[in-house]
Structure 1
């Protein structure tokens, strides 16, 4: 029997790339001789990240529509039709040369050209939608898809029900340790509450500003803070912070398993992968959706938890006044913290990478 051949297309953000790598890893576990090719966007972060995980990747010349009206973005948008035609042509060449048995689109504009060409040629197309509100590319490709695999149940209403399966989003693997052990390993007092703030690799300006304004309130209340501020903000913030044993500022957290293990409450943006990690680990959270994302999909992601009393939603515009008070209210009231814990524990858990590859196998 000849080796199975898979194309995984998409990228643009870590929220698309790392789940895609998890899917590829699960395919390789089942099919040791599988041929796996990633397709990304020229200049996208996937072009550096994917090879580090041991997979081949090719690029197409494509980018998204820029919604903010600036001269630069207008010029970029004028190039979009040319890029689309070029990328469809490139996608056709990749399909002819690689001859995949199935194509998996993981979202982002890079998934569009190859996925569309494949489906038009009768090659099974599987779409993975991570968010509560589907991205433009997946809505465009949905009529051609064989299967649409959902990371968030709230997205089901946007797709034909006969095509959708709720699988959850693949997440990084975390080897959690007992909470008190993790706290001590990080240099915290295990007897006091620990607040973990995540801003992503670049950081979240609004969250950083709100925490800077409220850090004295947190430390005065006995709340310890593990604050991942992002590399672009670290040197700016460090000199402004008081020396305190319960305060740790980091540009990036290398051991996320230890950080999650220690945290009693998490502050974060609301990307699809983040939501899935919080659900998988049953971590109570305050979510501050980024306003700088397509079609405000992070707010919809956050509502998928807050509507179930599994998280607190604080709009970005209100973070300065509400974020720290909300954190203090939860951490100082065991009933409120337990309500959030119970809410997120009751959300259905998935072995997403396994379930996604189960669905892919049905099309081979």
Structure 2
């Protein structure tokens, strides 16, 4: 333990208690949940007695994933704005009021010293309530285009942790700290061998392996391409680890039934093993996917989600493509170009090595630790 960590770990919480009590709010996707868990883990590494309570939205993936990481979570009756259906938004004011009542009760029971928000609509009532009560609030924004909840909350936040530069258009400049994006500990510290990982997925160690992930919610364009070409994997001596997302998982599981070249599921819990098994990855290019792939040092073909705010996924992918650290296929061109791009790459060992070498240079390995130290120092100056 460093002298700084020794100093921090000996301090009391702002409320005078011997241990800190921190609420972590937000979720909806893995891109919000996994950084939140990484930050909590980093704080506990320095202050092991810290007590955490996560708060998310009922029915969303954080309700399952957070307890799997060893933390308690409470769910709010809240929903986001449905752009495609005004009828579905009729109950939003009621749900928002109800969520503030639920948050008030949570705060009375848990008595937090601080609140960390990671984005997603469930973070809004939690941080807004904390700010009204004068409780320090911290925001982590993983994307280059900030989410609406974080933008609204930023002006009253204690500190705002961001992945990169030029975020002053969203947040007060004096509150911004550039840290990069925290990555799951299992990926950061992975020791999985390729042979063991392939065995875990029940695949052949003598075949080249494609890993396809469309984010925790899946990617329709990627899934359609794979379903159309799945019968070609065997003749090409290829195999596939396929995370479909929940929406149409049953359809794709059925499509690959009894195919020994394919492992398919709606979500991959053991992503460290999936990365270790893969020769080439197909992925969306959200901020957290990019951060993980840099850490995992994988050759990747990005298919950016075209409807992301300000098309920031395309910007994320181009940042790597321009450094010869990844390839990119546009979503609208995926049906024609994705499969041949991937198969050409997977048989080009020289190109794979070059992409792996260059993407590794972009890895940020200390984001969670940096955020943890900044939060603890702000709470105990």
Where on the TM-score scale, by shorter chain, does this alignment land: which range?
Answer: 0.7 to 0.9
| In structure 2, distance between residues paired with 1:47 and 1:189 | 35
Tell me if the contact between 1:132 and 1:304 (Cα under 8 Å) persists in the aligned partners: no
Structure 1: gaps spanning 5 or more residues: none
Cα offset for 1:352? 2.6
Match of 2:263 among 249, 255, 276: 249
Q: Which residue does 1:195 correspond to in 2?
A: 210
Cα offset for 1:224? 3.5
**Closer, same or farther in 2 for the Cα pair 1:204/1:124, shift >3 Å?**
same
| In structure 2, distance between residues paired with 1:229 and 1:44 | 17
Tell me if the contact between 1:131 and 1:155 (Cα under 8 Å) persists in the aligned partners: no
Q: 1:126-184 CA deviation, whole Å, 9 max, x = no partner?
A: 10111222111111111111211123556566433332223233322132334456456
Tell me if the contact between 1:197 and 1:266 (Cα under 8 Å) persists in the aligned partners: yes
Q: Which residue does 1:126 correspond to in 2?
A: 138
Structure 2: gaps spanning 5 or more residues: 1-11
Cα offset for 1:192? 5.0
Output the TM-score relative to the length of structure 2. 0.81
Tell me if the contact between 2:30 and 2:216 (Cα under 8 Å) persists in the aligned partners: no
Aligned to 2:86, what secondary structure does the other structure show? helix
Tell me if the contact between 2:214 and 2:243 (Cα under 8 Å) persists in the aligned partners: yes
Match of 2:303 among 288, 313, 336: 288
What are the within-5 Å matches in structure 2 for residues 158-197 of structure 1?
158-172=170-184, 173-174=186-187, 175-179=190-194, 182-183=197-198, 192-197=207-212
What value does the CA root-mean-square deviation take over the aligned residues?
A: 3.1
| In structure 1, distance between residues paired with 2:255 and 2:102 | 50
Residue 90 of structure 2 corresponds to residue 78 of structure 1: yes
Aligned to 1:40, what secondary structure does the other structure show? strand
**Closer, same or farther in 2 for the Cα pair 1:206/1:354, shift >3 Å?**
same
| In structure 1, distance between residues paired with 2:34 and 2:83 | 26
**Closer, same or farther in 2 for the Cα pair 1:288/1:41, shift >3 Å?**
same
Cα offset for 1:44? 3.1
Q: Which residue does 2:114 correspond to in 1?
A: 102
Cα offset for 1:105? 0.4
Cα offset for 1:188? 5.3
Q: 1:67-95 CA deviation, whole Å, 9 max, x = no partner?
A: 12xxxx31232333343344344434444
Aligned length: 359
